[in-house]
Amino acid sequence: MPIRRLDPATVAGISAGEVIERPASIVKELVENALDAGATRITVELERGGLGLIRVTDDGCGIPSGEALLAFDRHATSKLAVLDDLGTLATYGFRGEALAAIAAAGEVELLTRPGGVTDGVRVAGGGGVALTVGPAGCPAGTSLAVRRLFAAMPARLKFLRSPQAEAAAAARVVEACVLTRPGVHLVLRVDGEERLNAPRAADAAGRLRAILGASASTLIPFDRGEAGWRAHGLAEPPGAVRRRGRQWVIVNGRPVEDRALRHALLSAYAGQLPRDTQPHAVVYLDVPPAQVDVNVHPAKAEVRFADPSTAYRTVLRAVRDGFASAGVAPRAAAAAAGESPAGAETGTGPVPAGALPAAEPAWNWETPSGSGGVEVLGQLFRTYIVARLPDGLVLVDQHTAHEKILYEEMATQAAAAVTQPLLLPHTIELAPSEVLRLSGQEPALRALGFDLEPFGGNAIVVRAIPAGARDRDIGPLLRWLVEDLEQAGRATAPGELNHKLRATVACHLAAKAGDHLERAEMEGIVRGLLALADPASCPHGRPTFVKYDEGDLARQFRRTWGLGKRECH
């Protein structure tokens, strides 16, 4: 697309804002432009923390000579024509503001040449001086140098930190790019010295080595997803964390600052991080594009999720599963060492025999957080969620409530919404009788989220499983369903059979009594439950919650209100 000015309506529709705060912001914008230009090699040079020089050189598509000057116009972009394109945009840039803002903040020199043409072009000026354009010889690609940054903006200069701190901030931008774009060779040079050299690598582990060195190889890989959401990456094993490590969170390919997602990552360590330490970790969260809004912050470091609790849960579960598969799960380690995870709090009151390990507190306090009128206060006996509603207190049975939610999802949503395709089809062996019992039931199983196919002999190929299920659930779950089918017999009406199968799947996938739940999970359950038309009982008929409103409490405490009455009569 040629570079052109956005129309005013489109300009008004995108979050605009001052993008140039410090050298790192310039590095970020220029590196993103290079990536948008399809570069395979990008070199970033800094002198004096960026105040002496910032130069980003790429081997991307270059800018046609006729457009080079226009690129510095405010709201001139080649990446977005109308606001409708925003949702489908695959580029980093789209506001057309960066080059204009950079040229206002310092002196610029652009050298650029598209691959197919012989002559390049040079644009120079800025920092209060008019831009001039002229022919120039240069390699294919683009290089943009910024000098005398903020020379005419003493207020900005005052807010800058030391050259080392500014260079470090810029280096973090390059590191994030190393992790998001494994196919791009990145080089960072600071005051003439090469600080980072990340050749192309096939995977995140290879790229992480360019940043962390040999310690990258001790990180545990994780990868788990469901229903279009997937979290994968690498995290330092619990028990090995000794210092303040670095965490990167990358949502749909964009590095973001998201406290909730970092919290989700840290929660997977279940309180096992020594004081003042943090793990090294990189988390890639891939979410359906419609579920995330990246257009929230001018510097694009923040995102907003349509469903933040699913984002939280996806990350937490993926990391936790990764630790479990690698045999480094924090809870096992804690039990072996005889520690109680949260330390200080110990609960009182009756604990159902066998429901909890001895050292567990009965009461898992959460810092209350409100959303949608539901404020989760904590988890009791690892079985009940305690929450405050606008009109009272509610105790929710975490299993029956979750079971009910999952059941209703299967009953009311299309099959596509309750299934998760497996990346690699899974083959399982069942007894011959079980295979036979399942054959002919494909439509019923499809409504539950299963996509199965006989594979000769006693093997079944599983191509998709119910959303929320894990690989290891497949065998047990199918055996439960076989049992339901056995019991149902010929006389059972199809509606009755479907109800039974759904209830079985929901029961199997729901949180169990004894499971530790994170706040986001508890909130999800309470809110999900209360959103149902008929929330009171689970598919097997057990109650899902008990509620106390003001009147209930007044009756319990035998409060009688009236004029002139004293409190204790």
List 25, 78, 278, 310, residue binding ligand ADP (CB under 6 A): 78
Please list every residue from 460 through 519 that binds ligand ADP, using CB under 6 A: none
CB of 327 to ligand ADP, least distance (A): 46
From the number of C-beta atoms within 10 Å of its C-beta (0-12, 13-18, 19+), residue 442 rates as middle
Which listed option, Mg ion, ligand ADP, none, makes contact with residue 384 (CB within 5 to 8 Å by class)?
Answer: none
The Cα 111–Cα 124 span in angstroms is 9
Please list every residue from 148 through 207 that binds Mg ion, using CB under 5 A: none
From the number of C-beta atoms within 10 Å of its C-beta (0-12, 13-18, 19+), residue 556 rates as exposed
295 interacts with ligand ADP by CB under 6 A:
no
Q: At what angle do helices 259-267 and 308-325 cross, to 10 degrees?
A: 30
Please list every residue from 100 through 119 that binds ligand ADP, using CB under 6 A: 100
List 34, 145, 270, 525, residue binding ligand ADP (CB under 6 A): 34
Question: What DSSP string describes 39-71?
Answer: -SEEEEEEEGGGTSEEEEEE-S----GGGTTGG
Phi, psi of 392 (to 5 degrees): 155, -165
Which listed option, ligand ADP, Mg ion, none, makes contact with residue 379 (CB within 5 to 8 Å by class)?
Answer: none
CB of 97 to Mg ion, least distance (A): 8
Name the CA dihedral angle for 545, 539, 318, 241, rounded to a multiple of 10 degrees: 40
Phi, psi of 511 (to 5 degrees): -55, 145
CB of 59 to ligand ADP, least distance (A): 10
CB of 72 to Mg ion, least distance (A): 11
How many residues touch ligand ADP under the rule CB under 6 A: the total is 24
Binding window for ligand ADP (CB under 6 A); candidates: 31-39, 370-378, 432-440, 537-545 = 31-39
**Cβ atoms of residues 305 and 292 within 8 Å:** yes
Binding window for Mg ion (CB under 5 A); candidates: 31-39, 306-314, 520-528, 539-547 = 31-39
321 interacts with ligand ADP by CB under 6 A:
no
Report the DSSP beta bridge partners of residue 370: 375
43 interacts with Mg ion by CB under 5 A:
no
Please list every residue from 242 through 301 that binds Mg ion, using CB under 5 A: none
6 interacts with ligand ADP by CB under 6 A:
no
**Cβ atoms of residues 232 and 205 within 8 Å:** no
Name the CA dihedral angle for 543, 548, 552, 557, rounded to a multiple of 10 degrees: 120
List 63, 174, 386, 538, residue binding ligand ADP (CB under 6 A): 63
CB of 97 to ligand ADP, least distance (A): 6
Which listed option, ligand ADP, Mg ion, none, makes contact with residue 71 (CB within 5 to 8 Å by class)?
Answer: ligand ADP
58 interacts with ligand ADP by CB under 6 A:
yes
77 interacts with ligand ADP by CB under 6 A:
yes
Phi, psi of 421 (to 5 degrees): -65, 140
Binding window for ligand ADP (CB under 6 A); candidates: 57-65, 252-260, 292-300, 536-544 = 57-65
List 10, 33, 267, 310, residue binding Mg ion (CB under 5 A): 33
| Closer residue to ligand ADP in complex, CB, 121/241 | 121
Question: What DSSP string describes 382-393?
Answer: TTEEEEEETTEE
248 interacts with ligand ADP by CB under 6 A:
no
The Cα 261–Cα 244 span in angstroms is 18
**Cβ atoms of residues 323 and 237 within 8 Å:** yes
List 76, 98, 108, 231, residue binding Mg ion (CB under 5 A): 98
Residue 22's nearest CA partner among 211, 144, 172, 212 is: 172
| Closer residue to ligand ADP in complex, CB, 99/506 | 99
| Closer residue to ligand ADP in complex, CB, 18/391 | 18
The Cα 436–Cα 448 span in angstroms is 19
Binding window for ligand ADP (CB under 6 A); candidates: 69-77, 189-197, 250-258, 347-355 = 69-77
Please list every residue from 65 through 94 that binds Mg ion, using CB under 5 A: 93
| Pairing assessment for the beta strands 220-226 and 229-235 based on DSSP bridges | antiparallel
List 142, 278, 314, 544, residue binding ligand ADP (CB under 6 A): 142
The Cα 18–Cα 74 span in angstroms is 12
> What's the start-to-end Cα distance of the chain, in Å?
81
Which listed option, ligand ADP, Mg ion, none, makes contact with residue 313 (CB within 5 to 8 Å by class)?
Answer: none
19 interacts with ligand ADP by CB under 6 A:
no
CB of 306 to ligand ADP, least distance (A): 25
**Cβ atoms of residues 26 and 107 within 8 Å:** no
79 interacts with ligand ADP by CB under 6 A:
yes
CB of 29 to Mg ion, least distance (A): 5
Residue 187's nearest CA partner among 61, 47, 57, 28 is: 57
CB of 213 to ligand ADP, least distance (A): 30
93 interacts with ligand ADP by CB under 6 A:
yes
**Number of CB atoms found within 10 A of residue 180's CB:** 20
Binding window for ligand ADP (CB under 6 A); candidates: 87-95, 233-241, 262-270, 558-566 = 87-95
CB of 37 to ligand ADP, least distance (A): 3
Report the DSSP beta bridge partners of residue 236: none
Phi, psi of 341 (to 5 degrees): -55, -50
- Cα angle for residues 527, 533, 534 (degrees, 5° grid): 95
| Closer residue to ligand ADP in complex, CB, 38/551 | 38
| Closer residue to ligand ADP in complex, CB, 71/510 | 71
112 interacts with Mg ion by CB under 5 A:
no
What is the maximum span of the chain, computed from C-alpha positions, in angstroms?
98
Note the residues at the interface with Mg ion (CB under 5 A). Answer: 33, 93, 98
Note the residues at the interface with ligand ADP (CB under 6 A). Answer: 3, 29, 33-34, 37, 58, 60-63, 71, 76-79, 93-100, 142
